[in-house]
Amino acid sequence: MLDLSNNRIRDEDNQYLVATLRTYRHLKHLRPGTNVITDVGAEHLARFLLENGQLKLLELFSNELRSPGVITFAQAVLHSRL
């Protein structure tokens, strides 16, 4: 499990974070809750979710997502193994 909650992660940070996480193929739990991730960051996380076949838990609570980001993320969840 990687708990990144309460770290003030923004979209710019999230982009680099997701690039790094791609090397962790066995990551099963990711908790980036209570940060400043917006719809842009949700797109990065959605792509990561589709690429990572091991992730079972992703907690995005208390971020800055709006409808477009939630829809993008929901579509990724439907097509992933989460």
pLDDT in tens, 14-67: 999 999 999 988 999 999 999 999 999 999 999 999 999 899 999 999 999 999
Domain ranges of the chain: 2-78
pLDDT digits (tens, 9 = 90+) for 60-82: 999 999 999 999 989 999 998 77
Q: Which fold has domain 2-78?
A: 3.80.10
Q: Provide the token pair at 50.
A: 């589709």
Q: Name the helix (H) or strand (E) containing 49.
A: helix 39-51
- Give the chain as a 3 state SS string: CEECCCCCCCHHHHHHHHHHHCCCCCCCEEECCCCCCCHHHHHHHHHHHHHCCCCCEECCCCCCCCHHHHHHHHHHHHCCCC
